[in-house]
Amino acid sequence: MKLYSTKNRNHIVSFKEAVFKGLPPDNGLYMPVHIPTLHNDFFQNIDKLTFQEIAHAVSEKLIGEDIPSADLKRIINTVLTFDAPVMVLKNNMHVLELFHGPSLAFKDFGARFMAGIMSYFLQHDQKHIMILVATSGDTGSAVAQGFYNMPGIRVTILYPSGKVSEIQEKQLTTLGNNVTALEVKGNFDDCQRMVKEAFLDEELNHAMLLTSANSINISRLIPQSFYYFYAYAQTKKYGKPVVFSTPSGNFGNLCAGLMAKRMGLPVHKFVASTNVNDVVPTYLRTGIFSPRPSIPTISNAMDVGNPSNFVRMVELYENDLNALKKDIVGKSYSDNETMQAIKETYNTTGYVMCPHTAVAYLGLRDYMQEAREELCGILLSTAHSGKFFDIVESVIKAKIQLPLRLQETMQKPKQATLIGNTLADLKKILLSMATNH
Ligand SMILES: *Cc1c(COP(=O)(O)O)cnc(C)c1O
C-alpha cells in the first residue's frame, strides 16, 4: 500500500513509513493512493468464513505487498483473539458488539492490530519507539493494553484531568512498566493539540522516534474495516440492504466503514451518529464545516469538536458533498435523549447499552423510520455498558455485573503525572524520559 498526504498528493510513502510516522510532516493525513476492491467470489462466500479469515482476506488485499501473507495471518491470529458478534435487538435492528477485547471497547481492534504490525516491523530493525497518544478515555486504555510490555516500545498517554470516567482513568493509569500516564490540566482538544505539536517539534524528533496511536494512524483504521465485513457476513442471510449506525467522535470508525464500502462491501447507508458535538451532521446538512470547542456529554469518548478524520472522509469523496450525502446521513442527540434510549431499550428488550451505543441506536432507529424500506439495521456497540456503570445504573435503576477484568483494574492504585496544557510541559517530560533511557 502506498499512501499520500492529504495536503500534498505528490508526497508518497510506504505503508511502513505511514505506520511509524502517523502523520505526514506537512500536517495532512495519510490516505491510500489506491483502494482495491475484493472479488465477487469473496462476497458470495463471506458467510462461510471466520472473522480471522475475513480479516486476512481484507488485509492481504490492502497490505499484502508490505507484509507476506503468512506473516499477516500470524499477526491476525495473535491480535484478533476476541469475537465481534451481531446480536438481534428487535425487529430489523441488530447490535454489532465490539467490546469483547481487553479494554472492553472497540478501540482494542485498532490498537492490537497496530501493535502487531509495529512489532513485526521493529523485529527487523531492532529499534526503540515512543508511542504518543491523546485520549478522551477509551483510546488510551486500548493502546496501553495493546502495547503493554512490548519490547522496544514505550507508551505515553495524555488524558484530560477530571474528564474521563473513574474506570477509564483506572484503565489508563494502573498498568505501569512501559506505559506512562500524563494527566493534563485541560480538555481533550488540548491533549490532541499537544500531541500534534509534539510530532512537528524538531527537538523531540531528534531525541526519539515518535509514533502516533490515535485514530489518525492508518494501521488503526484498517482493522476497523474488518468487522463491517464480518457484520455483513453475519446478516447476509436476511438478504436485506444493510445500514450501519456508527457512534462517532473523531470519525475513525466511520471512515473505516466507508473504506470497506469502497472495497466493495454492499452498504446501503451509514448513519453518522453523534452527541451534541455535531459538527459533521451539521456539515452534511449545510455543507459548512465549523470546528469548535467540544462540549462535555455522557458519551464522553465522542466529545470532539474538531474530528481528526473529517479530512479523510471528504477526501474519500473528493470533496463532493452530494456524493457524501448519498452514503452518509448525520444524526445528533442530547444526553436526555441518550438516557431515555438506554432506559427504553432496557425496559423493552432487557439489553443494556452504554451511552455511546445508545447514540448509535437513536441514529439507526430514526433513519430506519424515515427510510420506510425493508432494511437490515446494524448499530455499532463501541463499549461495554459496565465501563459507564455509574450513569447506566442510575438510568436503568438496576445493577450491572462488571466483567472480572474490570473489577481487578479498579483495585489497583492510580499512577499519573499532572501536567499543564502546553507543548513545553509535554516536552519536559518526554525529554527527561529520553535521557533516562
Ligand atoms: C472512541 C470512541 C468512539 C468514537 O469513535 P471515533 O472513531 O473516534 O469516531 C465511540 N464510542 C466509544 C466507546 C469510543 O471509545
- 247 CA to middle of ligand 1, Å? 7
CATH number at residue 123: 3.40.50.1100
Confidence at residue 436, expressed as pLDDT on a 0 to 100 scale: 58
Reported as a single tens digit per residue, the pLDDT across 233-243 is 999 999 999 99
Q: Do residues 375 and 229 share a domain?
A: yes
Residue 28 falls within a domain, yes or no? no
Identify the CA nearest to 83 among candidates 234, 215, 248: 234
Q: Which of 171-175, 196-200, 258-262 has the highest mean pLDDT?
A: 258-262
21-27: average pLDDT: 87
Confidence at residue 366, expressed as pLDDT on a 0 to 100 scale: 98
Catalytic pick from 21, 107, 261, 331? 107
Q: What is the pTM assigned to this prediction?
A: 0.89
All three cell numbers of 149, joined, read 510490555
Confidence at residue 215, expressed as pLDDT on a 0 to 100 scale: 65
Residue 52 falls within a domain, yes or no? no
- 198 CA to middle of ligand 1, Å? 23
Q: Do residues 286 and 326 share a domain?
A: yes
The C-alpha atoms of residue 117 and residue 127 are separated, in whole angstroms, by 14
Q: Whose CA is nearest to atom 14 of ligand 1?
A: 301
Tell me the pLDDT band of 122, cut-offs 50, 70 and 90.
confident
Query: How many angstroms separate the Cα of 177 from the Cα of each of 25, 196, 263, 411?
Result: 30, 25, 40, 17
Beta carbon of 250 within 6 Å of any ligand 1 atom: yes
Beta carbon of 110 within 6 Å of any ligand 1 atom: no
**428 flagged as catalytic:** no
Helix or strand run (H / E) with residue 257: helix 252-262
Is the per-residue pLDDT at 127 higher than 90? Answer: no
212-222: average pLDDT: 84
- 106 CA to middle of ligand 1, Å? 8
Q: Do residues 361 and 417 share a domain?
A: no
- 435 CA to middle of ligand 1, Å? 35
24-50: average pLDDT: 96
Residue 274 falls within a domain, yes or no? yes
Tell me the pLDDT band of 214, cut-offs 50, 70 and 90.
low
Mutate to test the pocket of ligand 1, among 138, 164, 172 (most ligand atoms within 8 A of CB): 138
Identify the CA nearest to 210 among candidates 437, 430, 432, 436: 430
Can you give the residue range of the structural domain that contains 391? 85-104+218-396
Beta carbon of 136 within 6 Å of any ligand 1 atom: no
Beta carbon of 253 within 6 Å of any ligand 1 atom: yes
- 336 CA to middle of ligand 1, Å? 19
Reported as a single tens digit per residue, the pLDDT across 64-96 is 999 999 999 999 999 999 999 999 999 899 999
| Mean pLDDT estimate for the chain | 94
Q: How many domains does the chain have?
A: 2
Q: Do residues 121 and 202 share a domain?
A: yes
Reported as a single tens digit per residue, the pLDDT across 385-408 is 998 998 999 999 999 988 888 888
Confidence at residue 174, expressed as pLDDT on a 0 to 100 scale: 94
Burial profile 125-137: b = 16 or more Cβ within 10 angstroms, e = fewer: eeeebbbbbbbbb
Q: Do residues 263 and 339 share a domain?
A: yes
Reported as a single tens digit per residue, the pLDDT across 338-360 is 999 999 999 999 999 999 999 99
Q: Do residues 93 and 200 share a domain?
A: no
Is the per-residue pLDDT at 437 higher than 60? Answer: no
Q: Do residues 375 and 415 share a domain?
A: no
Please state at what angle helix 166-173 crosses helix 404-411, rounded to 10 degrees: 70
Is the per-residue pLDDT at 286 higher than 80? Answer: yes
Mutate to test the pocket of ligand 1, among 141, 164, 356, 357 (most ligand atoms within 8 A of CB): 356
Mutate to test the pocket of ligand 1, among 107, 227, 245 (most ligand atoms within 8 A of CB): 107
